[in-house]
Amino acid sequence: MKLYELTISQAAALLSERRLTSRELTQAVLERIDAVEDRISAFITLNADLAMAQADSADKTISEGRGTALTGIPLAIKDIICTQGIRTTCASRILENFIPPYDATVVQKLKAAGAVLIGKLNMDEFAMGSTTENSAFKTTHNPWDLTRIPGGSSGGSAAAVAADMCLGSLGSDTGGSIRQPASHCGVVGMKPTYGRVSRFGLVAFASSLDQIGPLAKDTRDCALLMNAISGHDPQDSTSVPEPVPDFTGFLNGDLKGLVAGIPKEYHASSGLDPEVMQAVNRAVQTLKDLGVRCVDVSLPHTEYAVAAYYVIAPCEASSNLARYDGVKYGFRDKTAGTLIDMYRNTRSKGFGTEVQRRILLGTYSLSAGYYDAYYGKASQVRSLIMDDFKKVFQSCDLLLSPVAPTPAFAIGDHMDDPLTMYLSDVFTLSANLAGIPGMSVPCGFSSKGLPIGLQLVGPHFSEGILLKTAYHFEQATDFHQKKAIL
């Protein structure tokens, strides 16, 4: 096995045993990036010199008998998470040269753990998209088939892990933006409970929905990353003072007695690809063989989730993105003769098509005379969806479903069809509306060799149950061990 193919837990063991140095590991990862980045296009900013300096510091820490499971481990960060002194663009022209004066809390935590941060990853602009085609700078390619999308908006984060360009990464999930690319790229991805991980330093898209989470090569690595980034943060008013367990402790034992719900609305979706359905059904059977009792459940308001989400998220985006006006920071159009023209030109030139579309949708929905009919009604539907989950979790421990309706499709296939794009989030966005955790674990491949993910969703702060279920599924299968050939 090549060094860059190691999992976090494997590398951590070698580092602690002094059989490997972080400098050697980081150099191997940087060489891997140099070899495949021109085909994948996962990175917006690469910090090779800084990464090597961090690796040397990590080696010194390890030699002194100190360190954590992440000390010396090369990780990468979605470019919507602030990094002090390092460009944070949100894949947008309007922030193309923005350098934050502070680190996001999750970045502070990773640095404190001794991780090596090798760069910032590509994404859909301001996290608005499901394919990473909406980046202002480049389109990321799926390592399993370079003609196909990696998913989005954390497409760079998923593709980099799948292509062994880092040992793990952080993404953000507003409507499925960690789980869906994880599914398409054949890696593990988790959206934690809203409030479990600090959002301080996460550039806001939709503040009541956004959540930072890990993408990793397997479930144990996902648990290690969750250990590092979770916890209450007084700088984030939405952060919950919930104790953080050792998530790796949940990987022990067995699954006997666990009850999993199968939502009939998800499995009866008209847009569900038969190969995805077959892979998920086989995964469900595997979990049954491991002792999980599966029961049919209903989430009756699922049919309204997409409509509610695509009112709430654009409304919050309209509000959050109002700050990009060319005055305080970021891109400014210098050709305008009046202040109003400067505002208009700055935002027209600085924002891409999809971002402009969502700002317009949100601004319209929040405008006088329409607020109650759109945002108010969508918020009521959100409450009904939350109630649906509360009821089903009275009789089961978690839910099992597809992550995405289809495997990864070809780049360019749906760029002129926003509705089809929006429907690709049909299985994931309800968890964001309800604020509950969800994750994707590889569960099969299509006839064309494209990865398919199984989605696990649980009640608030049930990340441990999801990780345990995913881990035991991994132990019974080998999907997570398959590698894209580049």
Q: Annotated catalytic sites, by residue?
A: 78, 153, 177
Cα(482)–Cα(377) distance, rounded to whole angstroms? 45
How many CA atoms are closer than 13 Å to the CA of 361, on its beta-carbon side? 20
Structure tokens given for 289: 């063989």
Strand order in the sheet with 398-402: 43-46, 116-121, 74-78, 168-172, 212-216, 188-191, 438-445, 451-457, 398-402, 259-263, 293-297
Cα torsion for 430, 258, 172, 150, to the nearest 10°?
A: -90
Helix (H/G/I), strand (E/B), else coil: 328: coil
Neighbouring CB atoms inside 10 A of 95's CB total 24
Neighbouring CB atoms inside 10 A of 40's CB total 25
CB of 239 closer than 8 Å to CB of 195: yes
C-alpha R_g of the chain: 21
CB of 451 closer than 8 Å to CB of 183: yes
Q: Which residues pair with 43 in a beta bridge?
A: 121
